């Protein structure tokens, strides 16, 4: 069985920009390439789970999302990071959707495709729906990063964050995950 780090995109890996759809606007957050590299070296599959309602709302096309992802994958690739897969839910909130977060469906799809043990996997994001998505899928832990909307979420939704681990950024989440690694099954 494999393990995965499920990663929100906007506000977690790259700077939050309203309805980003231009590759030139992709701004990878500080520490992200190194955090992803460390998780990858520890054997985690790197899987992005992203709601892209701008498609469903008619603000941009699926092809724009793909261009952004091609650019992001190439930039991360230059830093030695291989993204295993990017799953998106392109629907608007009022449209029927198979996998829009907080639905765990895309994590279940990833589990089947990559033979993942979700109970040994992690979700990392900057919104409550990211955390809920992880919980709904039964991951080991959901992390809230304070980048993107995360700092505001940590302040204003403190009562709803339950078992979430709140950290400054993706690098801190990776530190927490990797610290629990050895010896296996015995969190230190």
Q: List active site positions.
A: 8, 10
Q: Which is nearer to Mg ion, 33 or 148 (CB)?
A: 148
Residue nearest to Mg ion (CB): 11
Q: Which is nearer to Mg ion, 11 or 104 (CB)?
A: 11
Q: Which is nearer to Mg ion, 87 or 120 (CB)?
A: 87
Q: How many residues bind Mg ion (CB under 5 A)?
A: 4
Q: 């498609």: which residue's tokens?
A: 55
φ and ψ at residue 183, rounded to 5 degrees? -75, 150
Residue of 3, 4, 11, 83 interacting with Mg ion (CB under 5 A): 11
Shortest CB 186 distance to Mg ion, Å: 32
The length of the chain in residues reads 188
Lay out the sheet containing 44-51: strands in order across: 85-89, 44-51, 3-7, 122-125, 141-145, 165-167
Spatial neighbors of 182 by CB under 8 A, at least 6 apart, are 188
Closest CA to 89 of 107, 68, 116, 70: 107
Helix (H) or strand (E) holding 110: helix 105-114
| 150 belongs to the binding site for Mg ion (CB under 5 A) | no
Give the Cα separation of 63 and 70 in Å (integer). Answer: 10
Interface map 91-130 toward Mg ion (x if CB under 5 A): -----------------------------------x----
Shortest CB 37 distance to Mg ion, Å: 21
Shortest CB 10 distance to Mg ion, Å: 4
Shortest CB 130 distance to Mg ion, Å: 6
Provide the token pair at 69.
Answer: 């992802």
Q: Which residues make up the interface to Mg ion (CB under 5 A)?
A: 8, 10-11, 126
């Amino acid at each position: 069985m494999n393990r995965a780090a499920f990663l929100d995109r906007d506000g977690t890996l790259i700077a939050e920009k309203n309805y980003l759809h231009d590759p030139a606007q992709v701004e990878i957050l500080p520490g992200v390439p190194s955090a992803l590299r460390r998780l990858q070296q520890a054997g985690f599959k790197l899987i992005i789970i992203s709601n892209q309602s701008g498609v469903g709302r008619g603000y941009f096309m699926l092809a724009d999302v793909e261009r952004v992802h091609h650019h992001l994958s190439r930039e991360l690739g230059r830093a030695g990071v291989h993204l295993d897969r990017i799953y998106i839910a392109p629907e608007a909130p009022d449209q029927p959707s198979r996998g829009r977060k907080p639905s765990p469906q895309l994590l279940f799809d990833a589990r089947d495709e990559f033979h993942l043990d979700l109970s040994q996997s992690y979700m990392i994001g900057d919104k409550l729906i990211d955390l809920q998505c992880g919980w709904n899928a039964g991951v080991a832990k959901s992390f809230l990063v304070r980048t993107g909307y995360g700092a505001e979420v940590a302040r204003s939704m403190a009562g709803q964050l339950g078992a979430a681990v709140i950290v400054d950024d993706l690098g801190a989440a990776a530190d927490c995950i990797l610290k629990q690694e050895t010896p296996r099954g015995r969190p230190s």
